[in-house]
């Protein structure tokens, strides 16, 4: 019988205790930073957290001195795509950079789940270095499936007719469709495009009946943002899609979005958007804003006109994200793109800087967007998102205070993911890149 694959990045076994002493803890719970705090880790789980002087070091434990360092929960990117199209070496390199940069979990928003499922297994058991991956299976109306991306993620099969990417309409057997999506081991169903509000609501009801979340675009065309939110989805993506609530004509399809008066919305906002923010806040629906995405789109633009459109959407994105935050909407930090492989840090660091510098969100709240609210975006608040006893040992040790300057999130000393330590220096070593 063949030997199992090696797992050099596996979590430590229960009973292997490490004590991290003396750091200033920003625990993700909205509490003030806690200087001289000890975090005791047993295997993959946090055993205890408290003042240095109150927590004794268990016999035989390894002790790590964090004096002068800052500790935050592991970062979570709530909008990633690792396999559109599938490219295993590129995905593994991205995952590696993420975990060595403080990212301990990501939300993959529908891809070729044949590859994503294996990547999720490989990072979970430690075959490769990377964050935990929570992922979605996609549902959309039949008209969406001539999109070339659907073919990229269904190679060898027919888009719309595979468990991870299903075409649905009013005649679909939804209990079966949801069960097939669950069979991919997905965390959620992603509702994408070309579905009316009543079908979105039916998908949500059946998914929740079967114990799986629903993540949706903020407008599904013809379903409006208000209809998507009223359907009871757990999270909505892309803050600029909320602006479709102000369209002067009915929403028809994903490919034929109405033109909006973007400059008016930037200048004055709109009461219809205020109503959406209030409802998102009331329900606790997470807004995966992907706020800084349009800057990346502008950089990728092929011509001046496309660049100008992207920059207008960027201004709208900053405005709506700021307004939503002030209205009390829980905003997660998602990217929907990744930095060039030559860059030392992943895109999530840029998104967090954007939330602070362009949207006026305080650094402590931006960090919560990528920790506690990121965990909520994928239904994982019980196991991650804060540094508390009983949760996974997912945290980042920084050389300087990120609340004083959000750019200091890039000063990673090491990441702990499920109790396994990833030293930042190893990312740059020849051995670490092998």
DSSP states of 291-340: TTHHHHHHHH-SSHHHHHHHHHHHHHHHHHHHHHHHTT--EE---SS---
Q: Quick check: 433 pLDDT over 90?
A: no
State the pTM of this model. 0.97
Residue 127: name the closest of 6, 38, 229, 227 by CA: 6
State the distance between the two ends of the chain, measured CA to CA, in whole angstroms: 28
Question: For 77, phi and psi rounded to 5 degrees?
Answer: -95, 115
pLDDT at 280 over 90: yes
- Predicted local confidence at residue 434, as pLDDT: 36
In angstroms, the CA 270 to CA 257 distance is 19
Instruction: Give the confidence band of 200 by pLDDT, cuts at 50, 70, 90.
Output: very high
Per-residue DSSP letter, 2: P
pLDDT (tens digit per residue) in 325-371? 999 999 999 999 999 999 999 999 999 999 999 999 999 999 999 99
Q: How far apart are CA 355 and CA 348, in angstroms?
A: 11
At 3 the pLDDT is 82
**Per-residue pLDDT reduced to its tens digit, 210-259:** 999 999 999 999 999 999 999 999 999 999 999 999 999 999 999 999 99
Q: What CA–CA distance (Å, rounded) separates 263 from 376? A: 33
Which residues on neighbouring strands pair with residue 236, listed in sequence order?
Answer: 216, 287
Total residues belonging to the chain: 434
Q: Which residues of 304-332 are buried (b: 16+ CB within 10 A; e: fewer)?
A: eeeeeebebbbebbbbbbbbbbeeebbbb
pLDDT value of residue 431: 44
Domains identified in the chain and CATH numbers: 17-71+389-433 (2.30.40.10), 75-377 (3.20.20.140)
Residue 174 has pLDDT above 50, yes or no: yes
Those residues whose C-beta lies under 8 Å from the C-beta of residue 363, and which sit 6 or more positions away, are: 356, 402, 403, 404, 405, 406
Residue pair 298/342 in contact by the 8 Å Cβ criterion: no
> Residue 265 contacts by C-beta under 8 Å, 6 or more apart in sequence?
243, 246, 273, 316, 319, 320
- Residue-wise pLDDT for 283-334, tens only, equals 999 999 999 999 999 999 999 999 999 999 999 999 999 999 999 999 999 9
CA 313 – CA 263 distance, rounded (Å): 10
Element (H, E) at 176: helix 174-182
Helical axes 304-326 vs 271-283, angle rounded to 10°: 60
> For residue 50, which of 61, 58, 38, 41 has the smallest C-alpha distance?
38
Q: Give the pLDDT of residue 1.
A: 67
As a whole number of angstroms, the distance between CA 290 and CA 328 comes to: 17
d(CA 287, CA 277): 9
- What pLDDT sits at residue 176? 98
For residue 382, the model assigns a pLDDT of 98
Count Cβ atoms within 10 A of the Cβ of residue 168 and give its class: 0-12 exposed, 13-18 middle, 19 or more buried: buried
Return d(Cα 233, Cα 218) in angstroms, integer: 10
Helix 113-125 to helix 88-100 angle (10° resolution) is 40
Nearest Cα to Cα of residue 200 among 141, 285, 258, 244: 141
- Token couple for 326: 């002030």
């Amino acid at each position: 019988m063949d030997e199992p694959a090696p797992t050099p990045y596996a979590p430590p076994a229960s009973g292997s205790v490490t004590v991290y002493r003396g750091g200033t803890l920003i625990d993700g719970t909205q509490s003030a930073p806690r200087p001289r705090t000890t975090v005791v880790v047993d295997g993959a789980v946090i055993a205890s957290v408290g003042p240095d002087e109150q927590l004794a070091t268990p016999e035989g434990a390894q002790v790590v001195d964090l004096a002068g360092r800052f500790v935050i929960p592991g970062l979570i990117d709530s909008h990633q795509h690792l396999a559109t199209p599938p490219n295993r070496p590129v995905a593994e390199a991205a995952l590696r950079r993420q975990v060595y940069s403080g990212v301990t979990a990501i939300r993959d928003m529908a891809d070729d789940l044949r590859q994503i499922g294996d990547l999720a297994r490989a990072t979970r058991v430690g075959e490769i270095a990377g964050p935990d991956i929570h992922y979605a299976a996609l549902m959309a109306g039949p008209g969406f499936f001539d999109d070339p991306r659907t073919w990229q993620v269904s190679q060898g099969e027919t888009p719309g007719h595979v468990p991870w990417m299903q075409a649905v309409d009013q005649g679909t057997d939804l209990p079966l469709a949801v069960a097939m999506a669950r069979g991919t081991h997905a965390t959620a169903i992603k509702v994408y495009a070309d579905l009316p509000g009543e079908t979105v609501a039916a998908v949500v009801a059946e998914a929740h009946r079967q114990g799986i979340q629903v993540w949706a675009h903020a407008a599904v065309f013809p379903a409006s943002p208000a209809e998507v939110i009223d359907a009871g989805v757990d999270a909505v993506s892309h803050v600029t899609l909320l602006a479709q609530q102000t369209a002067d004509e009915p929403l028809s399809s994903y490919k034929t979005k109405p033109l909006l008066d973007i400059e008016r919305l930037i200048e004055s906002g709109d009461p219809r958007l205020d109503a959406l923010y209030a409802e998102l806040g009331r329900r606790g629906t997470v807004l995966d804003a992907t706020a800084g995405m349009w800057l990346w789109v502008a950089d990728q633009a092929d011509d001046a006109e496309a660049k100008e459109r992207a920059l207008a959407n960027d201004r709208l994105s900053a405005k709506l994200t700021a307004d939503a935050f002030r209205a009390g909407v829980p905003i997660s930090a998602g990217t929907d793109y990744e930095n060039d492989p030559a860059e030392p840090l992943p895109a999530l660091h840029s998104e967090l800087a954007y939330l602070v510098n362009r949207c006026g969100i305080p650094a402590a709240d931006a960090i919560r967007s990528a920790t506690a609210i990121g965990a909520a975006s994928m239904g994982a608040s019980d196991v991650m998102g804060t540094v508390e006893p009983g949760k996974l040992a997912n945290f980042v040790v920084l050389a300087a205070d990120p609340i004083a300057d959000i750019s200091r999130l890039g000063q990673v000393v090491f990441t702990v993911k499920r109790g396994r330590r990833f030293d930042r220096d190893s990312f740059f070593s020849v051995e670490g890149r092998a």
